[in-house]
Amino acid sequence: MLNRSAVAVAAELEVDKVVQIVTDACTELVGAEFGSFFYNVIDDKGEHYMLYALSGVPREAFSKFPMPRNTKVFAPTFGGEGVVRSDDITKDPRYGHSDPHFGMPKGHLPVCSYLAVPVISRTGEVIGGLFFGHPKPARFAEEHEELVVGIAGQAATAIDNARLYQAAEREIKERRRAEEALQTLNATLEERVVEEVLERAKAEEQLRQVQKMEAVGQLTGGIAHDFNNMLAVIIGGLNLVQRKLAKRETDVERFVEGAIDGARRAADLTKRLLAFSRQQPLAPEPVNPNRMVSNMTELVARTLGEPITVETVLGAGLWQVKVDPAQLESAVLNLCVNARDAMPNGGRLTIETSNAFVDDAFAREFAINSGQYVLIAVADTGTGMAADVIARAFDPFFTTKETGKGTGLGLSQVYGFVRQSGGHVKIYSELGVGTSVKIYLPRFYGDAPMPSRDVDATVLHRGLPSELVLVVEDEDRVRAVSVEALKHLGYSVLEAPNPTDALRMFETGQKVSLLFTDVVMPQMSGRELADHARKHQPDIKVLYTTGYTRNAIVHNGVLDAGTSLLSKPFSIDELAVKVRKILDD
């Protein structure tokens, strides 16, 4: 039996089965009425024992009783002190001293012969104890004690092995669970990353929308304020003119001039807004920045006044750029005026040009292409700007000037024009030291521009009766003003309220010197009208006009090559210059 149990427990890796085999074998070997194995348990309630295996009697014989406690009878076994063997345990001096039962509880199986052997692991830990009982006295001998001690040693080794095996299995299972979790994570990681990116993109889009609405609110507030002021001047002035003329009074010139000035300022405001939004139609051409700055120097000096010294530092071998020259001059002049306002007590203004290279890092940061650029810098020795002012300097209608001293559109116009031209604007400033605004424009690799001929401003751009202009405009009042203006300039004029009527004139063989047409009309665009007109008169010259910026003749903010455009609203002088230039080319 001893050998058979040793082989059995050595081959078994389940703790439950090891303990049951040992308990059954020992109960049979010692001839006990019943045998049991109790685990040694230590918890926050102190030391007590837990029934693990039972042999010889049903489990119900013990399960209804509380587990044994660390009394004087059980202490030697669970303390690992040694074997306790008694012919009659009820007569042991250690028995019956502990409440509440002072011995075996009522209903317990009768026990006289008693044998208890501790089960101790290789590390010295008392795993538990083997207990055997018999209702008759003196049933256990010394040889029984030796047999149980031997099997207890085997049991301890087998339990240790089984525990190690179970621990290894738990670790393997945990590792497998971890690997499966990792595989699941890897399988879903890409999907989770995509979801996270989409969520972040939604959040960023919502933030941009909020910021956009804030900007729109600020923009519309500024526009409403400025336009209402201008309209008040225009409407009030024209009402006074109307009343005076009704009374046959002719002293209306100052009111007419006020209305014209208000309308001009409104048109200028519109152009600035279009420049800020990068939707103004540009007519880019090769420009030599050094020549442009040289030609502007005298104008800048007169504009800024005597307390300010103007210096120019022109870079040698400067590359050329392709931009709208009028808009570039306006941008530089805007920066010079801002510099003047930052130097109320006078100072020095420097306009500098140089070649520059934009590396990949700078290009990524400001969303432009890397490569060669031309730098135009306007620096002053003024009051400088704080960091929070620099951060908002390009916002429309943002200004640090007193009410009525500035619209807050100067820098935003410069920024919009430069960005629309493929460049970037950067502000460097220090309080009490000064400010430098740097414009970066892409280098142009085409042919060098021809020197422009200065136009005598005193020349009157009048027409001849032999020069016939066809005006096509669907807005009656706009058409009437254009027709009267051209007649006033000396041209012969035909008019058509729509493209269909205009085409009928060409079909009848009518020859015109210039087609002056709106771009956006109900029946067809001005570009389509011009294309049809060229079938009847291939050499016809065309001048477009529009209040829109995105249309058939403007792509990405740039006029189609060889296209002439007069943006609405326009003055008679602007119309005279444009028409004369087209007819004389």
For the stretch 179-184, contacts whose Cβ atoms lie closer than 8 Å and that sit 24 or more positions apart, written own/partner, are none
pLDDT at position 547 is 72
State residue 559 phi and psi, 5-degree precision: -65, 145
pLDDT at position 278 is 45
pLDDT at position 384 is 87
The string over 182-206, giving b where at least 16 C-beta atoms fall within 10 Å of a residue's C-beta and e elsewhere, is eeeeeeeeeeeeeeeeeeeeeeeee
CA distances to 228, 440, 480 from 239, rounded to whole Å, are 16, 48, 21
Alpha-carbon distance of 250 to 244, in angstroms, equals 7
In one-letter notation, the amino acid at residue 570 is: F
Which of 427, 439, 434 has the alpha carbon at shortest distance from 348?
434
Tokens of 312: 């120019």
Residue in the block written with tokens 């424009």: 441
Q: ω into residue 449 within 30 of 0, thus cis?
A: no
Is the separation of the CB atoms in 27 and 34 below 8 Å?
yes
Helix (H, G, I), strand (E, B) or coil at 442: strand
Dihedral in degrees, nearest 10, Cα atoms 92, 98, 102, 108: -90
pLDDT at position 398 is 66
Q: What is the DSSP string of 273-292?
A: HHHHTT-SPB--EEE-HHHH
pLDDT tens digit at each of 585 positions of the chain: 777 776 776 666 677 787 888 888 888 888 898 898 887 765 555 455 676 778 888 877 776 766 666 677 788 888 888 888 888 988 888 877 676 667 677 777 888 999 999 988 877 888 888 999 998 998 888 888 888 888 888 778 777 777 777 778 888 888 888 888 888 877 777 777 888 888 888 877 777 666 556 655 555 555 565 666 677 777 777 887 888 888 888 888 888 887 787 777 777 666 655 544 545 567 788 999 999 898 888 878 877 877 888 899 999 899 999 988 888 888 888 888 888 888 888 889 999 999 999 888 888 888 888 899 999 999 999 888 888 888 878 776 666 665 445 544 567 778 888 888 889 999 998 888 899 999 999 999 876 655 554 444 345 578 888 899 999 988 888 888 888 889 988 899 999 999 999 999 999 988 999 999 988 888 888 888 999 999 999 999 999 888 765 566 665 556 666 678 887 777 788 888 889 988 887
Dihedral in degrees, nearest 10, Cα atoms 476, 478, 479, 481: 120
Q: ω into residue 569 within 30 of 0, thus cis?
A: yes
Alpha-carbon distance of 514 to 466, in angstroms, equals 12
Q: How many helices and strands (H and E) does the chain possess?
A: 15, 19
CA distances to 10, 144, 155, 278, 300 from 148, rounded to whole Å, are 16, 6, 10, 99, 115
Contacts of 412 (CB under 8 A, 6+ apart): 272, 275, 276, 394, 395, 396, 397, 398
Which domains occur in the chain, in start order?
2-166 (3.30.450.40), 285-444 (3.30.565.10), 468-584 (3.40.50.2300)
DSSP 365: H
Mark residue 397 as left, alpha or beta (left: phi above 0; alpha: psi -120 to 50; beta: remaining).
Answer: left
Alpha-carbon distance of 407 to 516, in angstroms, equals 34
pLDDT at position 559 is 62
- Give bridge partners of residue 440 from the DSSP assignment: 375, 424
Alpha-carbon distance of 106 to 48, in angstroms, equals 20
Alpha-carbon distance of 420 to 54, in angstroms, equals 92
pLDDT at position 279 is 52
pLDDT at position 455 is 46
Which of 576, 560, 559 has the alpha carbon at shortest distance from 327?
559
Strand 541-546 and strand 514-518: the pairing is parallel
pLDDT at position 456 is 45
pLDDT at position 373 is 94
